[in-house]
Amino acid sequence: MLAAAFDALALVLDPSRLVFMLLGISVGLVVGILPGLGGVVGMSLLLPFVYGMDPHAATAMLIGMAAVIATADTFPSILIGVPGSAGSQATILDGYPMAQQGKAGRALSAAFSASLIGGLVGALVLFAILPIARPLVLAFQSPHLFMLTVLGLCVVGLLAGKYPFRGILATLIGIMIAMLGSAPATVTFRFVGDSIYLMDGIPLAILAMGLFAVPEIIDLLADNRAVSRVKEVSSGWKDGVRDTLQNRWLVLRSAALGVAVGAIPGLGGSVVDWLSYGQAVQSAKDKSGFGKGDVRGVIAPESSNNAKEGGSLIPTMLFGIPGSGTTAVLLGGLILLGIQPGPSMLTSDLSITLTIVWTLALANVVGAFACFLLSRPIARLSTIPAAKFAPFLLIVMMVGAYQNTNQWGDLIAFIVIGLFGWLLKTYDWPRAPVLIGFVLAPSIERYLTISASRYGWTWLTDPIVIVIGVLAVAVVVAGVRAKRKGLGES
Amino acid sequence: MSQRLREELLFMAVLAGLMGAALYMATGYPFTARLMPQVVAIAVLALLSVESVLTVRRYRAARRSGDPASDGEHVGDTGNEPVWGAKFRRTAPYLGWLAALYLGIYLIGLTASAAIFTVAFCRLVGKMSWLAALLGTGLLMAALFGLSEAFNMRWPVGYFFDPFR
Q: Give the model's pLDDT for residue B24.
A: 93
**Looking at chain A, how many residues does it have?**
490
Q: What value does the mean pLDDT take over residues A227-252?
A: 75
Local confidence band at B71 (pLDDT 50, 70, 90 cut-offs): very low
Q: How distant is the Cα of A399 from the closest Cα of chain B, in angstroms?
A: 7
Local confidence band at A490 (pLDDT 50, 70, 90 cut-offs): very low
Q: What is the pLDDT of residues A198-208, one digit of tens each?
A: 888 898 778 87
Q: How distant is the Cα of A426 from the closest Cα of chain B, in angstroms?
A: 7
**Mean pLDDT, rounded, of chain A:** 79
Q: What value does the mean pLDDT take over residues A133-155?
A: 75
Across A261-265, A274-278, B54-58, least confident range: A261-265
Domain housing A131: 2-489
Q: What is the pLDDT of residues B94-131, one digit of tens each?
A: 999 999 999 999 998 888 999 999 999 999 988 889 99
Q: What is the pLDDT of residues A11-69, one digit of tens each?
A: 778 888 888 888 888 888 877 776 556 677 777 778 877 777 888 888 888 888 888 88
Q: What is the pLDDT of residues A279-299, one digit of tens each?
A: 888 788 887 788 788 889 889
Q: What is the pLDDT of residues A436-470, one digit of tens each?
A: 788 778 878 878 878 877 887 888 899 989 998 99
Comparing alpha-carbon positions, the chain B residue that sits nearest to A177 is B37
| Domains held by chain A: number | 1
Return the HEC string of A420-483. Answer: HHHHHHHCCCCCHHHHHHHHHHHHHHHHHHHHHHHHCCHHHHCHHHHHHHHHHHHHHHHHHHHH
Cβ atoms of B87 and B81 within 8 Å: the answer is yes
Tell me which residues of chain B, numbers 102 to 141, contact chain A at a CB-CB cutoff of 8 Å.
102, 105, 110, 114, 117-118, 121-122, 125-128, 136, 140
Tell me which residues of chain A, numbers 180 to 239, contact chain B at a CB-CB cutoff of 8 Å.
183-186, 188, 190-191, 218-219, 221-223
Q: What is the pLDDT of residues A83-94, one digit of tens each?
A: 666 666 678 778
Whether ipTM > 0.95 holds is no
| C-alpha angle A271-A358-A119 in degrees, rounded to nearest 5 | 30
The verdict on a CB contact (< 8 Å) between B102 and A411 is yes
- Is the Cβ of B153 closer than 8 Å to some Cβ of chain A? yes
Residue A396's φ and ψ, nearest 5 degrees, are -60, -40
Q: If you write DSSP's letter for every residue of A238-261 in order, what string do you get?
A: HHHHHHHHHTHHHHHHHHHHHHHH
Measured CA to CA, the distance from residue A273 to residue A73 in angstroms comes to: 13
Bigger pLDDT: A219 or A463?
A463
Measured CA to CA, the distance from residue B119 to residue B101 in angstroms comes to: 12
Chain A and chain B share a number of CB contacts under 8 A equal to 129
Q: How far is CA A344 from the centre of its chain?
A: 22
Does A226 score more than 70 pLDDT?
no
Q: Give the model's pLDDT for residue B72.
A: 41
Q: What value does the mean pLDDT take over residues A339-343?
A: 77
Measured CA to CA, the distance from residue A140 to residue A319 in angstroms comes to: 9
CA-nearest of A433, A155, A169 to B55 is A169
- Is the Cβ of A399 closer than 8 Å to some Cβ of chain B? yes
Q: How distant is the Cα of A163 from the closest Cα of chain B, in angstroms?
A: 9
Local confidence band at A123 (pLDDT 50, 70, 90 cut-offs): confident
